[in-house]
């Protein structure tokens, strides 16, 4: 029986030779994790089970990244609960502020996510690791508690959708634009509870960092997972971060998909998602002239080294528009340090940016860049719902780092080509 890559991974982890869409399975977990918003609830649920110890100290990860550095007393208390639980359980993978990063950048940077793994995270953007050929998905805090206790979870095998991108990308177009264009085409529920598989010559040419951006936002189309079959580029990256063995899966040529969609990637411009949904994505030319008060460059979608370099190249030797604030959020301490060593941090600071430690803060309207009523921001984050970055009367426009950096310089949304 022919299988998709998602079906093969779920079959292997449930002790089945094959699985079919709609089938209920119990599958073993390779890695489960929660953050400082979801983990405290999961810890409470875990204690209610009466089980004393997590199933595997190496496979349970608790990672404070959303409200850190602690923004207030409540955040400090939640982090304290996580810290004490990690110490009690002797977890291998608990990292303090200053030794950490935004979870969906930090985890794969540490070599904890590998091809062929089954990964669950108590955060909706846990689909990020599909970029390495893992089946990775977000779960609720109660499911995370069950995973910590048992090392297994029930899954309904999802149908798979195939997204085939071919053609050479235009200048300043990246993985972020491909996924925004995809979501615009199918809508925020167009892939509801489906595995979104990305393939084609364009995907093969994408950098690993750009592939992470694509899979990160599968959830914004309702996807259960986003996944890209590993290739030589994947294996080179994986071997650079981990010596551990892994297994590579790929879809059979005659595997069945609920839908196949082809894209001419060469026709895709840099995208801007208008408020208040990621599906409201349009070419940047249609957003021209919209004045902004703030730009945010970073997050789990676009806080990787490639993103920092792209933004810095555009900002080098320039200054922010007088009425614009710009917050730069490198995805991890390692990336922060590379920015310092490569002179990128200096470029940002001289341009007038705030160069922040890794945090999810402004992405969820928590801290480090919250918007007031009436303000507009362009952001490389993944959501632009009402009130997502602060006041419900503010507006957030989503873009790639190149567009965000150029717009911060201009004071209005523009294509980077306009700065030349």
State the number of CA atoms in the 13 A half-sphere of 373 facing the CB. 1
| pLDDT tier for residue 362 given thresholds of 50, 70 and 90 | confident
In the predicted structure, residue 420 carries a pLDDT above the cut 80: no
Q: Are 41 and 141 in contact (CB under 8 A)?
A: yes
Average pLDDT, integer, range 180-190: 96
| The pLDDT of residue 98 | 85
Distance of CA 46 to the CA centre of its chain: 26
* Residues 136, 259 within the same domain: yes
| The pLDDT of residue 366 | 84
Bond into 69 cis (ω within 30): yes
Q: Which of 263, 282, 300 is the last residue of a domain?
A: 263
Alpha-carbon span 85 to 334, nearest angstrom: 26
Pick 361 or 280 by higher pLDDT: 280
Alpha-carbon span 321 to 189, nearest angstrom: 37
Containing domain of residue 276, as a range?
A: 271-419
Which residues on neighbouring strands pair with residue 412, listed in sequence order? Answer: 291
| pLDDT tier for residue 227 given thresholds of 50, 70 and 90 | very high
Residues 6+ apart with CB under 8 A from 64: 35, 36, 79, 82, 96, 97, 100
Pick 227 or 361 by higher pLDDT: 227
In the predicted structure, residue 152 carries a pLDDT above the cut 80: yes
Alpha-carbon span 97 to 79, nearest angstrom: 10
| The pLDDT of residue 360 | 86
Which residues on neighbouring strands pair with residue 371, listed in sequence order? Answer: 390
**pLDDT tens digits along 37-66:** 999 999 999 999 999 999 999 999 999 988
| pLDDT tier for residue 200 given thresholds of 50, 70 and 90 | very high
* Residues 308, 210 within the same domain: no
**pLDDT tens digits along 99-151:** 889 999 999 999 999 999 999 999 999 999 999 999 999 999 999 999 999 99
| The pLDDT of residue 1 | 82
* Residues 186, 234 within the same domain: yes
| The pLDDT of residue 165 | 98
* Residues 393, 296 within the same domain: yes
Q: Are 214 and 178 in contact (CB under 8 A)?
A: yes
Residues 6+ apart with CB under 8 A from 378: 272, 292, 294, 295, 296, 396, 397, 398, 399, 403, 404, 407, 408, 413
Average pLDDT, integer, range 230-246: 96
| The pLDDT of residue 96 | 85
* Residues 165, 298 within the same domain: no
* Residues 294, 244 within the same domain: no
Alpha-carbon span 366 to 358, nearest angstrom: 14
Q: Which of 230, 263, 296 is the last residue of a domain?
A: 263
Query: 152-156 and 24-28 as β-strands: parallel, antiparallel, unpaired?
Result: antiparallel
Q: Which of 202, 235, 263 is the last residue of a domain?
A: 263
**pLDDT tens digits along 317-335:** 999 999 999 999 999 999 9
| pLDDT tier for residue 364 given thresholds of 50, 70 and 90 | confident
State the number of CA atoms in the 13 A half-sphere of 190 facing the CB. 23
Dihedral angle of Cα 237, 99, 102, 358, to the nearest 10 degrees:
-120
* Residues 364, 225 within the same domain: no
Among 223, 206, 185, 202, smallest CA distance to 131 is for 206
| The pLDDT of residue 368 | 86
Alpha-carbon span 230 to 5, nearest angstrom: 10
| The pLDDT of residue 379 | 97
Tell me if residue 311 falls in helix, strand or coil. helix
State the number of CA atoms in the 13 A half-sphere of 391 facing the CB. 10
| pLDDT tier for residue 288 given thresholds of 50, 70 and 90 | confident
The position carrying tokens 């609920």 is 258
**Residue 43, domain CATH:** 3.30.499.10
Give, as one character, the DSSP assignment of residue 131: G
**pLDDT tens digits along 62-97:** 999 888 888 899 999 999 999 999 999 999 999 888
| The pLDDT of residue 223 | 97
Longest dimension (CA), the chain: 63
Indicate the angle between helix axes 305-315 and 208-216, nearest 10 degrees: 100
* Residues 226, 367 within the same domain: no
Average pLDDT, integer, range 159-184: 97
**pLDDT tens digits along 9-35:** 999 999 999 999 999 999 999 999 999
State the number of CA atoms in the 13 A half-sphere of 281 facing the CB. 26
Alpha-carbon span 274 to 254, nearest angstrom: 38
Helix H or strand E segment including 325:
strand 325-329
- Provide the mean pLDDT of the chain: 96
* Residues 47, 140 within the same domain: yes
* Residues 292, 228 within the same domain: no
| The pLDDT of residue 253 | 94
* Residues 234, 304 within the same domain: no
In the predicted structure, residue 209 carries a pLDDT above the cut 80: yes
| The pLDDT of residue 176 | 98
* Residues 275, 189 within the same domain: no
In the predicted structure, residue 158 carries a pLDDT above the cut 80: yes
The position carrying tokens 């306009």 is 418
Alpha-carbon span 146 to 41, nearest angstrom: 12
Alpha-carbon span 328 to 346, nearest angstrom: 12
Residues 6+ apart with CB under 8 A from 233: 204, 207, 208
3-state helix, strand, coil in the chain (%, to 5): 40, 20, 40
| Count of domains observed in the chain | 2
In the predicted structure, residue 261 carries a pLDDT above the cut 80: yes
The position carrying tokens 């977000």 is 138
Residues 6+ apart with CB under 8 A from 194: 158, 159, 160, 161, 222, 223, 224, 258
**pLDDT tens digits along 367-412:** 889 999 999 999 999 999 999 999 999 999 999 999 999 999 999 9
């Amino acid at each position: 029986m022919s299988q998709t890559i998602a079906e093969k991974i779920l079959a292997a982890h449930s002790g089945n030779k094959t699985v079919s869409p709609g089938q209920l399975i119990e599958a073993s977990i390779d890695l489960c994790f929660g953050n400082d918003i979801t983990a405290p609830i999961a810890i409470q649920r875990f204690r209610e089970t009466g089980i004393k110890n997590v199933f595997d100290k190496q496979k349970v990860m608790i990672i404070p990244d959303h409200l850190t550095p602690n923004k207030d007393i409540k955040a400090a208390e939640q982090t304290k609960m996580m810290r004490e639980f990690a110490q009690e359980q002797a977890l291998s993978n608990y990292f303090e502020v200053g030794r950490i990063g935004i979870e969906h950048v930090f985890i794969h940077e540490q070599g904890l996510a590998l091809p062929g793994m089954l990964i669950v995270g108590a955060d909706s953007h846990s689909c990020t690791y599909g970029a390495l050929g893992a089946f990775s998905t977000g779960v609720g805090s109660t499911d995370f508690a069950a995973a910590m206790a048992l090392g297994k979870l029930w899954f309904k095998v999802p149908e798979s959708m195939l997204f085939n991108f071919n053609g050479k990308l235009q200048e300043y177009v990246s993985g972020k634009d491909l996924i925004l264009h995809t979501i615009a085409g199918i809508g925020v529920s167009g892939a509801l509870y489906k595995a979104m598989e990305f393939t084609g010559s364009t995907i093969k040419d994408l950098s690993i960092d750009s592939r992470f951006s694509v899979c990160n936002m599968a959830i914004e189309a309702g996807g259960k997972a986003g996944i890209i079959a590993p290739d030589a580029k994947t294996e080179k990256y994986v071997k650079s971060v981990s010596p551990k063995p892994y297994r590579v899966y790929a879809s059979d040529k005659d595997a069945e998909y609920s839908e196949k969609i082809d894209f001419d990637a060469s026709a895709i411009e840099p995208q801007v998602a208008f408020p208040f949904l990621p599906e409201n994505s349009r070419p940047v030319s249609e957003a021209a002239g919209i004045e902004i008060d703030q730009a945010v460059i970073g997050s789990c979608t676009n806080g990787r080294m490639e993103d920092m370099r792209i933004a810095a190249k555009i900002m080098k030797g320039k200054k922010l528009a007088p009425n614009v604030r710009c917050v730069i959020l490198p995805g991890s301490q390692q990336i922060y340090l590379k920015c310092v060593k490569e002179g990128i941090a200096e470029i940002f600071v001289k341009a007038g940016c705030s160069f922040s430690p890794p945090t999810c803060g402004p992405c969820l309207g928590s801290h480090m860049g919250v918007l007031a009523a009436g303000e507009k921001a362009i952001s490389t984050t993944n959501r632009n719902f009402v009130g997502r970055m602060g006041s419900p009367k503010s507006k957030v426009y989503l873009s790639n780092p190149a567009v965000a950096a150029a717009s911060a310089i201009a004071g209005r949304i523009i294509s980077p080509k306009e700065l030349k």
